[in-house]
Chains A and B, each alone.
Chain A
Amino acid sequence: MNQAFLDYYSLEPLTGWIHRTLCGVMPEDWAVFLEGLVIGVVILLAYALLAVVLIYMERRVCGAFQCRIGPNRVGGRGGLLQVPADVLKILTKEIIRLKKSDHLLYELAPYLVILASVVSFSCLPWHKGAQVLDLEIGVFFVLAASSIGVLGILLAGWSSNSKYTLIGAVRSGAMIISYELSLGITVLTMVVLSGTMSISGIVESQAGGWNIFRGHIVAVVAFIIYLIAGNAEANRGPFDLAEAEQELTAGYHTEYSGMHFGFFYLAEYLNLFITAGIATTLFLGGWMPFHVAGLDGFNAVMDYIPGIVWFLGKTFFVVFLLMWIRWTFPRLRIDQVLTLEWKYLMPLSLLVMMVMTVFKVFGLVF
């Protein structure tokens, strides 16, 4: 990509200027405190707004795929006010206190689920210079943070003192930890290709071409494995057997009501977005524009589109793919889910990683 445009669209000068100005009028500790407050509010707003957009999108996409209408009454054409109406409803529902549950763990579970999702959410690279947590060990940190979520699910299922929730939680736990392996190994494959673990570093290493194009067919296979494993990580169909409603009512969150339940719902949708966002970062170039080698005029036009448009465009494309998968395939059984992971995806992803390393070592990647 053209370096001039990278610098032109970078947010680093802006954030640096804000920090210097604030330090000019107040002590540095106060400036840091104020900036932290602003960052927190921005994360909260982005998180809530994306949840609303994703829930609305899921309803419309699912309606379209299954030849039914979807929400179309509340708020005029298209049911635009359906999700705000749902939010109000969920806020005004009674939060039930169970008689024989483990109260501390029962209250702790939503905190853990939301914590895992917010921390990995703030690692997403929205734009050059617009990334809250940009650690040296970026992708590794995202994997570590998102695996706290499974603790929340297990606690929720175990502490609510009901048979359905316990079965749902152990199923979900076994599935999530199994698919974490393929997920981790495909992420490793892309780390091998990019030569760095930092998220901004991975995006910048794709300036000459997205990883999915640089890594031949191997990267495409890794992308598909990542999508399958990511779908399972986000607990979404065809892997939603933790909440198979025909057998377990609602799985691990059966006993949660009102806003308590809302957190699990919120985290599910944001985890979908995070999975898609990490897929975009690792395979589709993050906020890098689409270039075709040789077509300089076309590339120059693509450079004009800001990075955040590219990032959101690609991420929502991946979200759409995942929704397509969810509403098309029937749910699997637990033994089929585990067989798919341990006998097919895991050996395949190990093979993909070794082939990618051979390509990288002998300089066969583009």
Chain B
Amino acid sequence: MTEFTLLTVVVLTAIVLVAAALGIARLLAPRSFNPQKGEPYECGVPTRGETWFQFHAGYYLYALLFLVFDIETVFLFPWAAVAGKLGVQGLVCVAFFLLILVLGLAYAWRKGALEWK
């Protein structure tokens, strides 16, 4: 079997697992209506105000930083597989690549992007 056939089999397996278990649960589980059940759970207190509210901007900052370093990892993977064969030249090239990225991290650190305020 080819890899894509296998991947399709695995993905279908996951979907069947969720659909089948939910189906069984829907057959077995009781169902009763109560207006209180549809409310968000906030420890018994009726919810107040908007629930889709603004959250801390710090999370966004980390997501931006993550993007830079995650793409860096993607670039490094092909190099890592042949790092032993590329020898000293490859090592020096990647060291420069990483140096620029570490400078970026240092800049973000200095600017206070890594502090939780």
CB neighbours (8 Å) of A164 from chain B are 41-42
Asked if A75 is at the interface (CB within 8 A of a chain B CB), the reply is: no
When distances are taken between beta carbons in the complex, the residues of chain B under 8 Å from A133 are: 3, 6-7, 10
Give the distance to chain A from B108, nearest Cβ to Cβ, in Å.
8
A55 CB within 8 Å of chain B? no
Q: Determine if A91 is an interface residue (Cβ-Cβ < 8 Å).
A: yes
A162→B17 contact, CB < 8 A: no
Decide yes or no whether B103 CB sits under 8 A from chain A. no
Residues of A within 8 A of B41 (CB): 162, 164, 249, 254-255
- Number of A residues, CB within 8 Å of B: 80
B62 x A177 contact (CB < 8 A): yes
CB distance from A199 to the nearest CB of B (A): 13
Question: Are A92 and B29 neighbours in the complex by a CB distance under 8 Å?
Answer: yes
Check if B17 sits within 8 Å of A354, measured CB to CB. Answer: no
For chain B, the count of residues having a C-beta within 8 Å of the partner chain is 69
User: Across the two chains, which residue of chain A brings its CB closest to B30?
Assistant: A94
B102 interface residue per 8 A CB criterion: yes
CB distance from A226 to the nearest CB of B (A): 14
From A114, A161, A195, give the contact of B85 (CB < 8 A).
Answer: A195
When the two chains form their complex, are residues A188 and B77 in contact, meaning their CB atoms are under 8 A apart? yes
- CA A357 – CA B34 in complex, angstroms? 62
Beyond A43-B13, A135-B3, A173-B59, whether A181 also contacts B83 by CB under 8 A is no
Q: State whether B55 touches A167 (Cβ < 8 A).
A: yes
Can you name the residue of chain B whose Cβ is closest to the Cβ of A166? B55
Q: Is A30 an interface residue (CB 8 A)?
A: no
Q: List 10 A-B contacts (CB under 8 A).
A: A43-B13, A90-B25, A91-B24, A137-B77, A140-B77, A163-B51, A174-B63, A188-B80, A192-B80, A195-B84
